[in-house]
Chain A
Amino acid sequence: MANTPEDLTYTKDHEWVRVKGEEATIGITDHAQQQLGDVVYVELPKVGDKFETSEPFGSVESVKAVSEIYMPLSGTVAEVNDVLNDSPELVNEDPYGDGWMIRIKIDNPSQVDALLTSIEYEDYIKAETSE
């Protein structure tokens, strides 16, 4: 069973978001990393890159496949987790901690309200997997 911490918010594309003031930290969920399997490569943007909501900002690759990672909120990349370049397995081992991907400066704080709570996200996964 996937872990979905209550203090985070989520997207239907299986990203998690930790909002702190005008900044947000973003990664992929425990459910997403379980579905992907062993992560062998993570491609992330550069500091200063700007993205709109739902735009792909990078990709995460398992042995079998490439999956894009989508922007939960519009914003500008403020920090990138470069450690993933040498240790992509952190995405599997600690998706909500050391496996974080980017930190952004949020363009429009009102977008945060549209994100899912942990309960809403859990319900969404259940519905998706029972299809």
Chain B
Amino acid sequence: MTETAMLKRTPLYEAHLVSGGRMVDFAGWEMPVQYSGPMPEHMAVRQAAGLFDVSHMGEIEVIGDDAFALVQSLTTNDVSKLEDNQVQYSLMTDESGGVIDDLLVYRLNEEFYLLIVNASGIESDFEWIQNQAANHRVEVRNVSAAFALLALQGPRAERILQPLTDHMLDRIPYYWSQDVKVENARCRVSRTGYTGEDGFEILCEAGSARHLWNRLLLTGKDDGLIPCGLAARNTLRLEAAFRLYGNDMDRTTSPLEAGLGWTVKLGKGDFIGREAIQRQKERGLSRKLAGFEVLDKAPARDGYPVIAGGREVGVVASGSPAPFLKKNIGLVYFPIEHTKIGSEFFVSVRGRQVPARVVETPFYKREKNFD
């Protein structure tokens, strides 16, 4: 058996080959890194629309009388604020306040929550949640294999999706979801995404994925819709300064250090990690994730050493050329004294010290359409 034979595939694997996807190993999954190329795919999402297969992400259901109590105790954000069909970005932290994973919490009803987690965390998150569920009247189910997840992203996403469903999509606000039929397939459609653009994530049964994928690409063709791979997904999320688990946060970093304090509601009552995060907040941070821009044409990439005040103070957490902004940008953990906007430092690019500067994030913010 070769390594590739062990990789998992989504229900859209064959569709990717047909679309000319270049397949790579990502977190144990054989996924398309690109089709036409990261640059045209990135620009399509900013200016028209792109379609991503994100079926490698995991779906975990929490069902039962204590579903709310369990999810509230597992996550940093305040689940009590959610109404039926509402969606929330949140984190799971451990006792020491380290980030176990970031996730989306969907409240389907008060006894039914759906958690969408990173591909790399499916098994470990599921185990963690099951362990915490011991004294709760809930059933926790890892239903990842039964579902596919498509992300239709970009300013034209709504007009591309609308003809395929009877539900009026403009009635789904940002971070809300709805059970709707798309092309007769039962789906949960949410106005969410990881690109910094308007768009939808469409959760469907694995068996419906191929048909929906093909129909969307066909219907959206005239609007400029193209299939997009993981490379564009990464550059899009980085321009929007969305954190990537494993790069920008993990068990050794706290939500506050990762700049995700807005997802932590210390006043909501007890949750795992609360005390540690509270203590860190009172004590003050010694380091924090900062956004930077390279003042040179050389891109700074993941893992490149960072030099400030004459010494190496860390490595680039996420770094890349930004296709839409036409700059080289990144995120880096810095001692707090270096995180001031405008403060300058160096990135070591193959031994050459290249100047960079701390800037405001997000790097890119779409213009909202209020009509």
Contact = CB atoms under 8 A, between A and B. Distances in A.
A61 B297 CA distance: 11
A63 B235 contact: yes
B42 A63 contact: yes
B32 interface: no
A59 B350 CA distance: 10
Interface string A58-69: 010111101000
B308 interface: no
A38 B38 contact: yes
A32 interface: no
Size bracket, chain A contacts: 10 to 19
Interface string B282-314: 000000000000000111010000000000000
B323 A43 contact: no
A8 to B, nearest CB: 25
B260 interface: no
Instruction: Tell me what chain B mostly uses at the interface: helix, strand, loop, or mixed.
Output: mixed
B62 to A, nearest CB: 37
Contacts of A59: 350
Contacts of B38: 37-38, 62-64
Contacts of B323: 38, 63
A64 B33 CA distance: 9
B297 A37 contact: no
A64 B302 CA distance: 11
Interface string A78-93: 0000000100000000
B350 A38 contact: no
A40 interface: yes
Given A61-B321, A63-B321, A40 B299 contact: yes
Contacts of A41: 297-299, 321
B39 interface: yes
Contacts of B342: none
B53 to A, nearest CB: 18
A11 B134 CA distance: 62
B231 interface: yes
A40 B231 CA distance: 15
B39 A37 contact: yes
A37 B37 CA distance: 6
Contacts of B37: 37-38, 63
B299 A37 contact: no
A63 B33 CA distance: 12
Contacts of A61: 299, 321
A66 B235 CA distance: 15
Contacts of B73: none
Interface in B28-59: 33-34, 37-40, 42
B240 to A, nearest CB: 16
Q: Which of A41, A61, A63 has the most CB of B within 10 A?
A: A63
Contact of B350 (A40, A43, A62, A64): A43
B320 interface: yes
Contacts of B231: 63-64
Contacts of B298: 41, 43
10 contacts: A37-B34, A37-B37, A37-B39, A38-B38, A38-B323, A41-B297, A41-B299, A63-B231, A63-B235, A66-B301
Given A37-B34, A41-B298, 14 more contacts: A37-B37, A37-B39, A38-B39, A38-B40, A40-B299, A43-B298, A43-B350, A59-B350, A62-B39, A63-B37, A63-B231, A63-B320, A63-B323, A64-B33
- The 7 A-B pairs of least Cβ separation, nearest first, read A38-B39, A37-B37, A63-B38, A64-B231, A40-B321, A63-B321, A64-B38
